[in-house]
Structure 1
């Protein structure tokens, strides 16, 4: 006899391994995308359109679990998957009445039926009993309850208590009241006949029966209900409509769901995706985008981004108008590759500040100039003349930027963009060139957000991230002093006043195809893109007109964290001597120079590297030397300027005459000598 029992046991083990339970339905679940605090952002259906979310005992109130066990399987905690007493009672009832009165199914057997639906026959009951013992061998009691909580039908295409709680009550299962929990336990008994939106009275009766007849017998203090509790619960109305599933951050939710590889436990996928977003801010940003839509032309869309300046964690992201076919709402425009226009100039100037080529107070020339065959123009086709570098950056003048890139080198600029998290996308086989200064490369809203975060975070570069991760690892893009200088130059009031202490810059691509506005304060970086998803022009559109007002409203949603503005002014003195004793030894102010020979410009004082300019145009020099050679191109009046690393400038007016007419003692008129150099 013992040998026979041993043989039977061995046979059962072999069969158990050869024919394990089918857990595929448990694996096919939807995705819940949550914010950094675990708050729901979006819910995506399982394949086939079923709203099914994985659920565990920890996802629901203890009272719901106790009520479920009391109603469906009071000896659940003690049996091995099959309850002999319940089966005996069901068989006796069947013999007496001639039909099935109660099925005698345990919760484990119900879990089997949810995993592998079968016709309701005696043969199916036998299979369910065997499968139930298999589940008991593989899973804990709480895990088996999790199968029921995940797969139990809640009417229509809703399965599981978590999906049911959201659909019928508009909130997470953990926040269910006893009456709501009772309804979700009752519905699976007859899902089609107890749908509260179609059969509210039947659903109410079933819920009240669950409360009055079952809740008092629930085990555990958590499920105990006083008569007053029962009366209050029974007085609650049943829902008569379904709540829509949450749909915040729809583009990002689908992006992350598509990239998901599944959980660590086979057959028990989590179905939960944790992001860096902040749910209240995400909702406010999407409302801002929606309010903006009515002011946009047809087919024009907007993408918005807010990220933490220090951690690079994206806190809110809107990739467009989800569901709006006219505006190509299915396309995530935060990842669309577009031309950034002049929005790249702050990084370019930061590299110039770092290299010592310019300082905020450097006088630069915004005048017509050709760079080989390339002849850039400003947006308005005009020229400003001589301005400081800070003014040129704020005014987004093109000629000074191209001249700076020509000196810095396009390859160096492209490398810095890559380090900042915004690698330039160029045509196949093309090398970086001077048009890069004006947006002649492709980038995305997320990448531009990373680039501006580097400017606001001491020149440290890193890509933005939407999934929490280990501490941030950054790459040096700019010296901290150069990045801070750019930030201070860009701190300026928004048009119309309002917010202060925010560094911002706009950009417009060729033909008005893309309108940008990006900025940062002491804690956040924000970015706005406006354009047509198909890339067609928006005649007359500019970043200042379209995107900047949205950026201002975006920052108004954030806690104030202002940067301190630092006015940047050129420091010149008449006669060429500055307070720190930077001065031109030669030529002296008012000198008259011959026009047939090179002139050696000599400097004393100031902090190297030094840079020489004549009429605002740099001349060839070694930054570490205190002298430079200049050959006057023709007779006339000129202004010679030297700039040091601190932005201090010394400038003198000189006159160049034909060699034959230079007379001893010639000097410039006093009116010329008294001219201010800051015009």
Structure 2
């Protein structure tokens, strides 16, 4: 009977226990739904380098140094030390330790005061997340929150939270913050002595202040190390080394490299506490130092700033990012990000223009263009040195950065096509300006950034393939997605031209210098000498350099060649000196052919001087050279004949004369450069010539001119005529105004109203234009 009663009692007790447990579980679930656990620590933003080292750190939004300690930064030494000191049974209890709580309650009740606590690491995390007054009610809430933590988070994550939130005095929280600020290194590099030091501070952050009470801290540290030795937590050798290690902790500044990129990434990834950048710490430090030293040297010229971007061509990762020479220099605008500042590009867009011209079959590197004064509907560009060089090849025009050939090329390519290509290459300001851009865009009449220009030149290094830049480190092995910008053949031709060193934009004192890196590069100087550019690349890297003043102040000595390029060369010599990689390989669709040296076209019957040129098969033009033409003259060569008036007697002689463009003839005449002229046509000839008449280059057809009626200005009449034209006749509103030589400048005083201007040559050919004169 007694056994039966015991059995019934056990069953009743078992049911009640199960019922109680179920009730508690339901109650916990209800409370969990009513009071959900919200863990949202406000961490500091940390920018790391590609190797994981800290580049830059920001205060949290509540002005705390609270750096995230990642799981892989919690070393076994750190974990064993913290658990032994704070919570030996961390991996065994459900968030609270009943034994420790009972022991603490007994001691507190018997002594009448609080002599020991029973908080586990989990309960301390709750207290750090939700600070409360130390009461029994608060303890109950902490127990509930601790159970929630244990339910939803792993032990490793709870330990990580604890290490991220423990206080170290002032505005320093978390072991990584303390490690960086007091020891200058991340937690995984701490020694046993340093780990023990940081383990004891949170209990007494006011009295044990690192850098202030180091002697007292050493005593407390050694006391704990001896306790570790008694429990065999670490080997005797490790303890002995830790006891003898001096404490040199003091308050340091947080790392602050790449401040411009750090702020950019912080804004872009606002909710991410750790942002892994693509920067290489050594590369960044090298570049920052080179920029600082260089700007210090040129400050005497009234040039105060520079910006540099270094790109890895294979991955398109940005390995160095320097926005200004000194971020802390507010006087010179040090906080302006020169990598993203919109500036005038000068001549740096010319390589893309000529690459497009090669792809469209308009020209080849040896094609000859005329660098002569030219009026493009009122726009009259001139070269940097205010000189003109006459006939010049495309590659020489690019290497010498001549302006008139570039504008002529843009006229052939068309501004919309060129601007469209720039838009495809990600030039954001040009997208906004596209409707207002004209021929001046190729000479810097637009807005670009150093980032956009450097990314463009990286496309030449990658065989014409364009890709976005990577500012954040990725673990994907795939190569960046690339799109076709120009052909590989055109990119090679541009690279081949830009690797030449016999060019005017080679910096002073770099001729025949071993300091000259093996790179392709292009310089640029904006109007008013406000911006100096130099962009260079080899197979591994593309480096963009801008030098100038953020205030926009121009400097007479500022130029891409002599100011920006020395810094470019220094950076390449630092990051890739004597690169083992060879030159760029010539694409298969690129061939070599002989061309006439006079025009760059396929040799004709008159071409005696031939040179070798590149040609894109199936694309490059195939025109027979006609740089000379046959003319019948009399024996002395004083009169020329056409087929209509060729005499049957007197033995006419066929001679060859240069087939010069009218603009080139005008240039030769204005500079008094001798050339072989075609003799005057036979006066006995009655043939009417059907060819085009003189080209009126001033004034501009269809333009409006404003004059002051009280002091009317003079307008110039000028034209370009064929080689054999000796005289032209100017007409105003069909009335003869003056006869003159084709190259002679004629002036007149206009009156308000519509005006028809005509020019006829001595062959009877005529050209008309119309302009409008308005009174101001």
TM-score (norm 1): 0.83
Aligned ranges 1:177-188 → 2 under 5 Å: 177-188=191-202
1:47 and 1:459, CA in 2 relative to 1: closer, same or farther beyond 3 A? Answer: same
Aligned ranges 1:397-412 → 2 under 5 Å: 397-412=402-417
| Offset at residue 587 of structure 1 (A) | 7.9
**What is the root-mean-square deviation of aligned Cα atoms in Å?**
3.3
SS at match of 1:327: coil
Contact 1:501/1:563 (<8 A) preserved:
no
**CA–CA distance in 2 between the matches of 1:657 and 1:635?**
17
Match of 1:89 among 86, 103, 109: 103
Tell me what 1:477 maps to: 485
SS at match of 1:364: strand
Aligned ranges 1:517-536 → 2 under 5 Å: 517-536=534-553
Work out whether 1:510 is the aligned partner of 2:527. Answer: yes
| Offset at residue 393 of structure 1 (A) | 1.1
Work out whether 1:319 is the aligned partner of 2:323. Answer: yes
Match of 1:129 among 143, 160, 178: 143
**CA–CA distance in 1 between the matches of 2:229 and 2:47?**
33
Match of 1:248 among 257, 260, 277: 257
Contact 1:458/1:483 (<8 A) preserved:
yes
| Offset at residue 447 of structure 1 (A) | 0.4
Q: Unaligned regions of 5+ residues in structure 2, if any?
A: 1-15, 587-591, 599-604, 613-621, 634-638, 645-657, 686-722, 724-776
**CA–CA distance in 1 between the matches of 2:400 and 2:311?**
26
**CA–CA distance in 2 between the matches of 1:197 and 1:540?**
50
Contact 1:352/1:404 (<8 A) preserved:
yes
1:585 and 1:537, CA in 2 relative to 1: closer, same or farther beyond 3 A? Answer: closer
SS at match of 1:656: coil
Contact 1:595/1:658 (<8 A) preserved:
yes
| Offset at residue 374 of structure 1 (A) | 0.3
Contact 1:454/1:462 (<8 A) preserved:
yes
**CA–CA distance in 1 between the matches of 2:352 and 2:98?**
76
Tell me what 1:546 maps to: 563
1:464 and 1:597, CA in 2 relative to 1: closer, same or farther beyond 3 A? Answer: farther
Aligned ranges 1:429-448 → 2 under 5 Å: 430-448=435-453
Match of 2:237 among 228, 251, 256: 228
Contact 2:51/2:280 (<8 A) preserved:
yes
**CA–CA distance in 2 between the matches of 1:153 and 1:586?**
86
Tell me what 2:498 maps to: 490
Tell me what 1:78 maps to: 92
Contact 1:635/1:655 (<8 A) preserved:
no
How many residues get paired?
A: 610
Tell me what 2:24 maps to: 8
Tell me what 1:291 maps to: 293
1:614 and 1:564, CA in 2 relative to 1: closer, same or farther beyond 3 A? Answer: farther
**CA–CA distance in 2 between the matches of 1:254 and 1:401?**
39
1:45 and 1:591, CA in 2 relative to 1: closer, same or farther beyond 3 A? Answer: same
Tell me what 2:583 maps to: 564
| Offset at residue 70 of structure 1 (A) | 0.9
Higher mean C-alpha displacement, 202-211 vs 101-110? 202-211
1:350 and 1:569, CA in 2 relative to 1: closer, same or farther beyond 3 A? Answer: farther
Tell me what 1:146 maps to: 160
| Offset at residue 419 of structure 1 (A) | 2.5
Q: Unaligned regions of 5+ residues in structure 1, if any?
A: 219-223, 264-270, 600-612, 620-631, 638-652, 669-679
**CA–CA distance in 1 between the matches of 2:409 and 2:627?**
26
1:569 and 1:175, CA in 2 relative to 1: closer, same or farther beyond 3 A? Answer: farther
**CA–CA distance in 2 between the matches of 1:492 and 1:568?**
20
| Offset at residue 371 of structure 1 (A) | 0.3
Contact 2:594/2:610 (<8 A) preserved:
no
| Offset at residue 413 of structure 1 (A) | 1.0
Match of 2:276 among 271, 274, 277: 274
SS at match of 2:210: coil
**CA–CA distance in 2 between the matches of 1:586 and 1:315?**
52
| Offset at residue 617 of structure 1 (A) | 7.7
**CA–CA distance in 1 between the matches of 2:296 and 2:536?**
24
**CA–CA distance in 1 between the matches of 2:279 and 2:416?**
35
1:407 and 1:423, CA in 2 relative to 1: closer, same or farther beyond 3 A? Answer: farther
1:170 and 1:588, CA in 2 relative to 1: closer, same or farther beyond 3 A? Answer: closer
1:261 and 1:241, CA in 2 relative to 1: closer, same or farther beyond 3 A? Answer: closer
SS at match of 1:48: coil
**CA–CA distance in 2 between the matches of 1:492 and 1:441?**
27
Match of 2:336 among 320, 324, 331: 331
Higher mean C-alpha displacement, 487-496 vs 290-299? 290-299
Tell me what 2:762 maps to: none
Aligned ranges 1:143-182 → 2 under 5 Å: 143-182=157-196
Rg bigger for which structure? 2
Contact 1:458/1:484 (<8 A) preserved:
yes
The structure whose RCO (Cα within 8 Å, separation 6+) is larger is 1
